[in-house]
Structure 1
Amino acid sequence: MLWDLLMLLQITSVVWVPICILSMLSMFYCRLLGYRTTISLGIVGVPVHELSHLLFCVLFNHKVIGLSLYKPCIDGTLGYVSHQYRVTWFSPFANLIIGLAPIAGGVGAFIGLTYWLRPDVISAFYALNGGVLSYKGVQEGLIGVLAQIVSQGGFYITLLWLMMSFSLLLFCAPSKADFYGCRAGVLTLVVMLVAMIWAVPEQAKQFLEVISPLLTFVGSLLISTVILTALLFATFLGVSKLIRIKLNALTS
């Protein structure tokens, strides 16, 4: 039983730790960039974040009572989705999915945007990984993706892609309110899995062995998202500095 509990801790941390890191780094980047730059970048990423919440609210038949896709406020709120629902046994899990939905929405929008503006980046990513996504391949592919970003593509297209991509990945991270809404779902899920390990250990072990590869793969994608966001952040700062230098040269 102890081994099964350790296995449960391992496979859940593979997913949950990168999510927490992504959220903390997002807040850190926003503080470094400052309020004005953050709200400017949010024009793209925040609506996608809120639309992701909205989509899953509709799918789970929650009543949406308030919606703002993009409305910066003094308290730091850039958008929100307020919803009501009839409490059932599934409600904690629905709220968990709704709270984490922006990760899927932001990453999905980023992939679609890249296919549209910089398909060569996607091609390079798949070429380096033999067309197959794997834990090791995803990590190695990021180096090739960064090289592809800076070495090819038109300047203005690349600049547009960079700004929009950074915005999507920066704001796909769950907010404090999202984590608050997820808490009951996470607790319920952990309690159910622990109870399953205690009541039917053999079946629980088989279940954990089945979902472990999937969660490991999801974790690798989340880690890649963290790394890629950091690379885009560094690239964004570098490009911004170059633009300021050119503007100063033109005006001097």
Structure 2
Amino acid sequence: MKFLIQLFIKTCIETVNLTGMLILIGFLLGMLRNYSVRNFQRGFGSKAVMITGFIGVPVHELSHAIAALLFKHRITAIKLLQRPDVNGVMGYVEHSYNQNSIYQQVGNFFIGIAPIFGGIASMIGLMHVTIPETYNNFVYILMKNVHVEVIDKSTIMGILYSYLGLVKSIFSIGNFENPHFYIFLFISICISSHISLSLADIKGASIGLTVIFFILLILNIFGLSKYIQAFNLIKYNILITSFLVVAVILSLITFLISLSLVVIRKN
């Protein structure tokens, strides 16, 4: 019995190490998104969500669709943009898959969280085109942090300071003088306003997460966990976090802008 409990705990820890940061930041992005949309609607009315949705929703849904194709799911229906229905749904991707395929079942997790990475990729690509100096700073920070071998207080503080530098780089005087910066800011607001996961996304991702857990459990049962341990989880989590932080920064900027608009409107 003690062995089974230890096995279960070990598998839970490994599952959290692999997916915990994605889930945690996914919920944070969802919270920021909900407050931002609420503020935009308070400032500009119910149609405000369509202004951001015009760009943000297609990016969200295309991310699902691309991930579904990568994991060999069959897309049965897709709607890139519509007026919010009674449940607030502005777009959807319906897909089917072979339930006997472990690869396709695991794919449910990545299809569910795909809008986070699709949104991040879109914003980083936009950064590269519109404010290349800031993009170069981001790449420098990414390369610097990915070489971290040990996580301790000084390392964490160093990573936080590096991303504080990224925020300063985004809002540099040079960027404010660059008209392309305002294009970047507007499109990033649109994307980050719809980057979070819907209940349907979370439900789909949870199916894949369950399969990932059982795969890790089986590996541990047969003593194959050495392959998991050989995987450098520190570098993996820092790399994943480096990309996710970009989404958090831009979502936080979106929230602050939405809050400012509410204050201005009240005054």
**TM-score interval, normalised by the smaller of the two chains:** 0.7 to 0.9
Q: Give matches, 1:73-112, under 5 Å.
A: 73-75=84-86, 76-90=88-102, 91-112=104-125
Task: Return the letter of the residue paired with 2:10.
Answer: D
Q: How many residues align?
A: 242
* In structure 2, distance between residues paired with 1:111 and 1:138: 19
Q: Which runs of 5+ in 2 are unaligned?
A: 149-155
Q: Offset at 1:43? A: 1.2
Q: Percent identity, aligned pairs only?
A: 25
Equivalent of 2:24, from 17, 26, 42?
Answer: 17
* In structure 1, distance between residues paired with 2:92 and 2:233: 33
* In structure 1, distance between residues paired with 2:16 and 2:143: 28
1:208 paired residue number: 229
Alignment partner of 1:26 is 2:26: no
SS in structure 1 of the partner of residue 144 of structure 2: coil
Alignment partner of 1:56 is 2:70: no
Q: Give the TM-score of the pair, scaled to structure 2.
A: 0.77
Task: Return the letter of the residue paired with 1:166.
Answer: I
Q: Offset at 1:42? A: 1.3
Equivalent of 1:115, from 117, 125, 128?
Answer: 128
* In structure 2, distance between residues paired with 1:67 and 1:170: 20
Residues 73 and 96 in structure 2, CA contact (< 8 A), matched pair in contact too: yes
* In structure 1, distance between residues paired with 2:252 and 2:230: 32
Task: Return the letter of the residue paired with 1:29.
Answer: S
Deviations 1:136-167 (A, max 9, x none): 56533332222223322236432221111122
Q: Which runs of 5+ in 1 are unaligned?
A: none
SS in structure 1 of the partner of residue 33 of structure 2: helix
Query: Comparing both chains, which one has the higher relative contact order based on Cα–Cα distances under 8 Å and sequence gaps of 6 or more?
Result: 2
Deviations 1:61-104 (A, max 9, x none): 33322211111223211111112233323232122221121122
Rate the CA distance shift 1:38–1:179 in 2: closer, same or farther, 3 A. same
Deviations 1:176-200 (A, max 9, x none): 1111111211111112212322331
Task: Return the letter of the residue paired with 2:60.
Answer: H
Residues 15 and 216 in structure 2, CA contact (< 8 A), matched pair in contact too: no
SS in structure 1 of the partner of residue 26 of structure 2: helix
* In structure 2, distance between residues paired with 1:112 and 1:177: 27
1:227 paired residue number: 249
SS in structure 2 of the partner of residue 61 of structure 1: coil
* In structure 2, distance between residues paired with 1:5 and 1:81: 32
SS in structure 2 of the partner of residue 72 of structure 1: coil
Task: Return the letter of the residue paired with 2:21.
Answer: V
Q: Offset at 1:15? A: 3.1
Residues 15 and 212 in structure 2, CA contact (< 8 A), matched pair in contact too: no
Q: Give the TM-score of the pair, scaled to structure 1.
A: 0.81
Task: Return the letter of the residue paired with 2:220.
Answer: I
* In structure 1, distance between residues paired with 2:226 and 2:25: 24
Rate the CA distance shift 1:64–1:243 in 2: closer, same or farther, 3 A. same
1:4 paired residue number: 10
Task: Return the letter of the residue paired with 2:26.
Answer: I
* In structure 1, distance between residues paired with 2:35 and 2:97: 33
* In structure 2, distance between residues paired with 1:40 and 1:189: 37
Q: Give matches, 1:180-191, under 5 Å.
A: 180-191=203-214
Residues 74 and 95 in structure 2, CA contact (< 8 A), matched pair in contact too: yes
